[in-house]
Amino acid sequence: MNDNSNGSSLSFVDIIKTTKPSKILFFSASVLSLLGCVISLTVPLLIERLIDQLKSNIDIKLIVWIIAFSLLESVASSISQFLLSVSAEKVIFNLREALWNKTLQLPMKYYQKNKSEELVSRLTNDTTTVASIVTDEMVDLISSFFTLCVSIVILLFLDIPMTLALIIVVPLSLFIIIPFGKRFGEIAYKSQDRISELTMFSSQILRNIKIVKSFGAETKELQSGKDKFYSLYKLGVKSSILNAVIGPFLGTFGFLLLISVVGLGALRVSNGDISIGKLVAFIIYLFQVIAPFININMFFTSYQEAKGSLKRIFEILNEDVEPDRFLTNSVKNKNSFNTLILSHITFSYHEEQVLKDISFHVNKGEIVALIGESGAGKSTIFNLIERFYEPQSGEMYLDHVSFREVEPGLWRQSFSYVPQDSQLFDGTVKDNITYGLSSVTEEEIVHAAKLANAHDFILALPDGYGSEIGEYGNRLSSGQKQRIAIARAFLRKPDFILMDESTANLDSESEYLLQDSLKHLSEHVGVILIAHRLSTIMNTDRILVLENGKITGDGKHETLYQTNAYYRNLIQHQGLNKNQS
C-alpha cells in the first residue's frame, strides 16, 4: 500500500494502485470505446462524400454504410459502458473490502480519536467517488484525447486555414473552464465533508432516539438537522450557480464558434476553396473537437474531487494495525492456559497515569472481584487484558507465555468479555449467543443459556432462539440483554471470563442463579469481575482493591474490611451494600 496520505501529492498512479481496477474489463472497455471513436470519426467523411455526390446521383451503398457504422458505434459504446459499470462496481468492492479489513484491525485508540460514522462515510461516499474516476471518466479521458487528436488531424486534412483558426480560438475557453473546474472541486470536497457530518449526526440521534424523546430534545435536534441540511443546501446552490454560468457560457461559445465556422466555411465554398461536403464534415468534426475538449477539462475537475476522497481513504489505510498482529515468531495456535499474570504494569492515557505498578494473578478455578471508585482503573485493566491497549511497561503472561509472543486475536481467544452495557447485534437470539463461533451444537447453546439463566425467557419469546431481537437488542429488557451477553461469554469456553459490572441489570434472583452458575463454571475457568454489589463481592474467592491506580488490597471480604481502610470506606460510604444495584 502506498504510504502517501497527503491528498495534495497523491498521483493518479496512487489511485490506480489502491483501487486495482480489473485489467481485462478496463482494457476491453477502452478498446471498444476507441473502436466507437474510430467509427464516429469515419462517419463524417462518408457524409462528405454523400453530399458531394448529390449533384450527380445518390450512392445507396454509402447511405447503408453510414447507417451501419452509426449502429455499430452505438453497440460498441453500449458494451463499453456496461463493462465500465462492472469494473466500477469491482473497484468499489475492492476499496470497501480493503477499508473494512483495515477497520477491523485498527487498535482501540483509533476509535477513541475518530468517530465510527466517519468510517461509514468513507466506506460509502468516498469509495463511489474514487471508483468513478478510475473507470468511466478514465476511459472517457482516453477516448476524448484520442478523438481530439484524430479530429484535429482530419480537420487539417479537410481545411488548414479553418483548422488553425479553430486551434487558436477553442483553447480560449480554458480561461473560464479551469477556474470554474477548480471551484467545482472545492465545493465537491466540502460537500463530501458535510455529508459525512450529516451521516454522523443522524446516526447518533437515531441511535439515541429514546434519550432525545425523554429529554424533550426534538425541537433542538430538528434545528440542528436543519442547520446541517442548510449547509448542504448552500453548497448545492453554489454548485448550481457555477453550472448556471458555465453551461450557458459553453453553449454560447459553441454557438458563436459554429456561426464563425459556417460563415468562414461559406466564404471559402463561394471562393471554390472547399466543397459543401467538406464544410458539413468540418462542422461535424467541430463538435467532435469541442465535446472531448470539455470532457478532458471536466476529468481534471473530477480528479481533484477524487483526490480528496482518496486522501480520506488513505488516512485509514495507512493507520497502524494492532501491535504484534503479524509477529513472525509468535504463538500461532490456541492453547489452554491455567494462570493469568500481570506483572508491574504501568499505563497512561496521554499524559495521565492511570495504572501504577500493577501486579496480580488469577488462576483457573478462582473468582476474583476488582473494586474501586470510578476512575480508579478497573476498566483499564480489562482493556489491557483484552489487548485493546498495550502497557507502557510491565508484562502480562498466560502461564509463562508473554503477551508479546501471542497475536492479539489469538490471545483474546483465551478470554470472554461481558460488558456492562450488553452490546448485542441486530439478528436472532441464537446469532448473538453464537457470535464469533463457527460450529456450535444446539445442546451447547441451550446449556450456555441455562447457565446464564436465560433459557426460560428465550423459550417464552415468539420464535424462541430464532426470535429477532432488533437493533442493539432493543426488543429485550436490560436484564434479558445482559443474560444473553453472559450466555455468549459462557459458550465461548474461554480460560478466563471478564465481567464488567455484568450483574448491574439483574434482579436478585437472577444474580443468585448467576453466582451459582459461576461457581460451577469456575471449576474450569478463571473469573475476574468488576462489581459494586456487596452480595457479589462476598461470594468471590479474592477481592482486589484498586486505589488511585494501585492495588492496595488482595484478600477476602472479612480480612480486607478489618485491615484495609480504603476498602472499609468504600463499604461504609460509597453505597456498597446488599441492596445496592
Give SS3 for 544: strand
550 is written with which cell numbers?
494501585
Query: Which residue among 48, 117, 305, 501 is the active-site one?
Result: 501
- With beta carbons less than 8 A apart as the criterion, state whether 368 and 285 touch: no
- How far lies 495's CA from each of 91, 338, 383, in Å? 42, 7, 17
223: number of CA atoms within 13 Å, CB side? 3
452 is written with which cell numbers?
446464564
H or E element, residue 224: helix 218-270
| Reduced 3-state DSSP string for 472-536 | HHCCCCHHHHHHHHHHHHHHCCCCEEEEECCCCCCCHHHHHHHHHHHHHHCCCCEEEEECCCHHH
> Residue 192's closest CA among 139, 247, 239?
239
Give SS3 for 538: helix
Q: How far apart are CA 123 and CA 316, in angstroms?
A: 11
Alpha-carbon dihedral angle through residues 321, 323, 328, 331, given to the nearest 10 degrees: -120
* φ, ψ (nearest 5 deg) of residue 370: -120, 115
> Residue 46's closest CA among 283, 289, 281?
281
| Reduced 3-state DSSP string for 392-446 | CEEEEEECCEEHHHECHHHHHCCEEEECCCCCCCCCEHHHHHCCCCCCCCHHHHH
For this structure, is 501 an active site residue?
Answer: yes
Catalytic residues: 501
